[in-house]
Amino acid sequence: MAITITKIAELKRYLNEMIKVGRVDDSYPRADHAPKVREAVLAVAGNLVMTADDNSIELAQRTRQSGVVHEVNTVRFAVGGRPYVVVYSTKVKKIVIRRASLQGVDVARIDNTSTQAQIMAIFASL
């Protein structure tokens, strides 16, 4: 399941849940699980929005046992029709951009040490 982001309000709600308040049924924001990328999240989101093809940004969703549907830390998007996935990797503790799918080749790894210029260059190269 996925929700396509077509309105700023939808993106704002997702980012607010990730950074500030957490999802329904969460006691804290998801970014609190990932302190090594917390400062890079907004730079990644902004560059993704500016780079992605129109109407290509999709937030993966899951249904909890309680029946509540929520977004997970997987964003699919396309650039020039080429598919990419952005995911937080608990293995490497970084935001990872992959080609085509969750199992795709890593294109980039981003964390709090990544500069704005580096993040912009990553997205410009997609």
Q: Summarize pLDDT for 22-57 with one digit per residue, the tens.
A: 555 555 445 556 788 888 988 999 999 999 999 999
Predicted pLDDT of residue 37: 86
Predicted pLDDT of residue 117: 97
Give me the CATH code for the 2-124 domain, please. 3.30.920.70
Quick one: how many helices (H) and strands (E) in the chain? 3, 6
Q: In the chain, what are the domain boundaries?
A: 2-124
Q: Summarize pLDDT for 57-113 with one digit per residue, the tens.
A: 988 766 767 776 556 678 899 999 999 999 888 899 999 999 999 899 999 999 999
Amino acid identity for residue 36 in this structure: K
pTM to 2 decimal places: 0.79
Residues whose CB is less than 8 angstroms from the CB of residue 80 and which lie 6 or more positions away in sequence, other chains included: 53
H or E stretch at 75: strand 69-79
Confidence of residue 18 (pLDDT cuts 50, 70, 90): low
